[in-house]
């Protein structure tokens, strides 16, 4: 600093100090104002950029979320279809196993009955149907062939009885020492008794139960 400047500053130190300080103060305010303006501008720019980034992130998040929902729905549908297929397969296998088990049990039962020489339920039903059919046919044939003559009071009706004995079901004719026939079943004995009674009418056929009581009393007139 030169002597002139120093002298000038010394001379004006007291008189110009407030002006100089005020200038410094104003200059500082100007700097702060500039910083504030620039800061506000920067803050506004950052804020706008932040909003744009947030909006972009939200849009991307929404798109990703929708894609995840769509994928989840596809997986759920495929899972349901897979479960339906598995259930159908399990049900089919269960039915096949049950059918095979039923056949096995039926086969074992039939083999056992065959070994002890006993008819199966199917065989019994078939035999019963055949017996009923044969009985009907015999009755119809007998009704066509028999010519009924005039009744003669002097002719006594023949008496036939179907009884249970030690050897089986017997067809007994009155006055005969030996049975007309011995049968394994009552049905066979009754069928034979009806045929005998119809072919030797006038006649009477008594059918007894196992306890000895009369079950049926049939008369066949001339």
Identify the three-state secondary structure at position 1: coil
Coil, helix or strand at residue 34: helix
The stretch 81-106 carries a mean pLDDT of 79
Q: Which residues contact 74 (CB under 8 A, 6 or more apart)?
A: none
- Pair 192, 181: CB distance under 8 Å: yes
d(CA 30, CA 9): 25
pLDDT value at residue 118: 61
Residue 92 has pLDDT above 60, yes or no: yes
Write out pLDDT tens, residues 100-155. Answer: 777 776 667 666 656 665 666 777 788 888 888 888 777 767 665 554 444 455 56
Given a contact cutoff of 8 angstroms between Cβ atoms, the answer to whether 151 and 222 are in contact is yes
Contact 203/158 with Cβ under 8 angstroms?
A: yes
Helix (H, G, I), strand (E, B) or coil at 210: coil
CA distance 204 to 220: 6
pLDDT at 44 over 60: yes
**Count of all residues that appear for the chain in the document:** 222
Contact 202, 151 (CB under 8 A): yes
Peptide bond into 202 cis (omega under 30): yes
Calpha distance 25→32 (Å, rounded): 11
pLDDT number for residue 125: 80
Residue with tokens 């030690």: 166
Strand partners, 171: 162, 181
Confidence class for position 2, pLDDT limits 50, 70, 90: low
Is the pLDDT score of 183 beyond 90? Answer: yes
Confidence at residue 150, expressed as pLDDT on a 0 to 100 scale: 45
| pTM exceeds 0.75 for this model | no
Rounded Cα distance between 67 and 60, Å, is: 11
CA–CA dist 100, 102 (Å, integer): 5
143 vs 26, higher pLDDT: 26
Give the pLDDT of residue 6: 47
If residue 196 lies in a helix (H) or strand (E), which one and from where to where? helix 186-199
Other C-beta atoms closer than 10 Å to the C-beta of 222 total 14
Alpha carbons 80 and 27: distance in angstroms, whole number: 78
Mean pLDDT estimate for the chain: 76
Q: What is the pLDDT of residue 54?
A: 74
């Amino acid at each position: 600093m030169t002597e002139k400047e120093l002298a000038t500053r010394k001379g004006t130190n007291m008189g110009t100090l407030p002006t100089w300080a005020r200038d410094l103060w104003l200059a500082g305010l100007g700097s702060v104002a500039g910083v504030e303006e620039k800061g506000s501008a920067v803050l506004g720019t950052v804020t706008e950029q932040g909003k744009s980034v947030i909006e972009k992130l939200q849009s991307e998040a929404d798109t990703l979320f929708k894609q995840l929902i769509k994928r989840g729905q596809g997986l759920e549908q495929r899972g349901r279809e897979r479960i339906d297929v598995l259930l159908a397969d399990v049900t089919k296998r269960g039915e096949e196993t049950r059918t095979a088990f039923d056949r096995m049990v039926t086969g074992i039962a039939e083999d056992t009955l065959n070994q002890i020489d006993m008819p199966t339920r199917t065989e019994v039903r078939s035999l019963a149907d055949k017996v009923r059919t044969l009985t009907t046919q015999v009755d119809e044939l007998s009704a066509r062939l028999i010519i009924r003559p005039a009744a003669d009071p002097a002719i006594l009706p023949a008496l036939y009885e179907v009884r249970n004995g030690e050897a089986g079901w017997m067809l007994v004719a009155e006055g005969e020492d030996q049975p007309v026939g011995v049968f394994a079943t009552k049905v066979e004995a009754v069928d034979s008794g009806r045929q005998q009674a119809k072919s030797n009418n006038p006649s009477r056929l008594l059918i007894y139960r196992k306890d000895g009581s009369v079950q049926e009393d049939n008369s066949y007139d001339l």
